[in-house]
Amino acid sequence: MKASYRVKSISVGHLAAFLGIAYAISSLVLLAFTLLGFNTGATETGRTIRQFGLFVPFFALIAGALTGVISGLIYNLVANMIGGLTIELEQQ
């Protein structure tokens, strides 16, 4: 049995929190690989990369939250004009 549903609006706060956390987790994974690649010991470049790397998850969290707010607001604005997305779900 298939059912059609329309997404009329998105909670901007929840989308901002979700994307912020997702961006922060993604940045931690990328940061791990970056730090492994720049494992240069006591060189100046290695220290700088490691020091900057401490702030990457925080900046990613902020960037994700801002992206969520902007995306949610744009979606809600457009959804009011065209009626939102229609999703077809099938019960198993």
Tens digits of residue pLDDT in 23-44: 999 998 888 877 776 665 556 6
What is the per-residue pLDDT for 56?
Answer: 86
Low-confidence ranges of the chain (pLDDT < 70): 37-47, 49
Single pTM value for the model: 0.76
Cα–Cα distance between 16 and 69 in angstroms, integer? Answer: 5
Dig out the tokens for 10 from the structure.
Answer: 């998105």
What is the per-residue pLDDT for 23?
Answer: 95
DSSP 47-61: HHHHHHHTTHHHHHH
What is the per-residue pLDDT for 39?
Answer: 61
Domain limits for position 80: 2-90
Cα–Cα distance between 87 and 65 in angstroms, integer? Answer: 25
What is the per-residue pLDDT for 40?
Answer: 55
Q: How many domains does the chain have?
A: 1
